[in-house]
Amino acid sequence: MRALVWSVGLATVGYLVFSLWGGWREVIDAASRVGVSGLLIALALSLVNYGLRFVRWQYYLTTLGHGIPWLASLRIYVLGFALTTTPGKAGEMLRSVFLARFQIPYTKSIAAFFSERLADLLSVLGLTLFGVATYPAGRPVFYFLLVTAAIILLVLHSQRWLDLVRRLIERFLRGRLKQFAGNLVDIVLHSRRLYRWAPLGWSLLLGLIAWAAEAYAFHLMTVWMGLEIAWPATFFIYAFSMIVGAISFLPGGLGGAELTMVTLLMLNRVPAPEAVALTVLIRVTTLWFAVLLGVAALIRHRHP
């Protein structure tokens, strides 16, 4: 939890600096145009995102042969959000500890986590297609991640490669190192089951709709602020900012996502106060809303 406290503190300071830079009064005025009803709509769309991703998560567990009750699974899934602000969201693997109580091996729950991260990357990359042609500077990152994801998918579908790795482990490794490497191969093998073509198709469909919901909330905020930005541009700005935040490996993408979002908005002739207000509001109603739900679920799980 110390990491969470630090991330909250750093985010608060960062958003304060952002607001002072954009002009405190002007930023508040821009944010007020969204209104309480706008914030509630954005939060509802975030819940759509979390809900669809949970459906995908439950599908992963069922595919791996561990269909646990939906309510218990939902509690465990949501409490993982408490550690979303760790690098690469790795803290969300906390779910594995609670899933172990349902006799789900760590190798399978970690495989589900890895598959979820890859599905999110592919889904958000799909959203950037709406505007990547308009932003040449973003193409190298887009192509790099696309090729990386394609290589990972090819590896997951290559039984020969996995058999070769197993033989090398058996021949050259001993003791704990051998066990660790063997567990990694098991994680890849379980992930492979989740990335056959049918599960992959469902994962991407659910992921695209889930992340499009948050991107749409971001677009609605631009409309409520009176900004004239076409939805393909807002979808790209949101999605690309999430990607930059993820590959920065900063806790929750803090700093990287926000700077990218403000920069892209200003490149679209959005004044600094509106750019800052949009960035802070969308992060509060997406990232920090998830963290709040996760902390509440974790507290309730510890003190039922």
**233 neighbors 135 (Cβ within 8 angstroms):** no
Q: What is the pLDDT of residue 13?
A: 52
What Å distances lie between residue 147 and 4, 201, 237, CA to CA?
A: 33, 18, 21
Name which of 5-19, 185-199, 245-259, 265-279 the model is least confident about.
5-19
Domain count, the chain: 1
Q: pLDDT by residue (tens digit) across 113-136?
A: 999 998 999 999 999 987 877 777
89 part of a folded domain: yes
179 part of a folded domain: no
195 part of a folded domain: no
Q: pLDDT by residue (tens digit) across 52-109?
A: 999 999 999 999 999 899 999 999 999 999 887 776 566 678 899 999 999 999 999 9
169 part of a folded domain: no
182 part of a folded domain: no
Q: What is the pLDDT of residue 132?
A: 79
The whole-model pTM stands at 0.88
Domain housing 7: 2-105+209-302
Q: What is the pLDDT of residue 15?
A: 58
63 part of a folded domain: yes
170 part of a folded domain: no
Q: What is the pLDDT of residue 227?
A: 94
117 part of a folded domain: no
User: Has residue 1 got a pLDDT over 60?
Assistant: no
The model's confidence at residue 151, banded by pLDDT at 50, 70 and 90, is confident
Query: Could you give the percent of the chain with pLDDT greater than 70?
Result: 87
User: Has residue 239 got a pLDDT over 90?
Assistant: yes
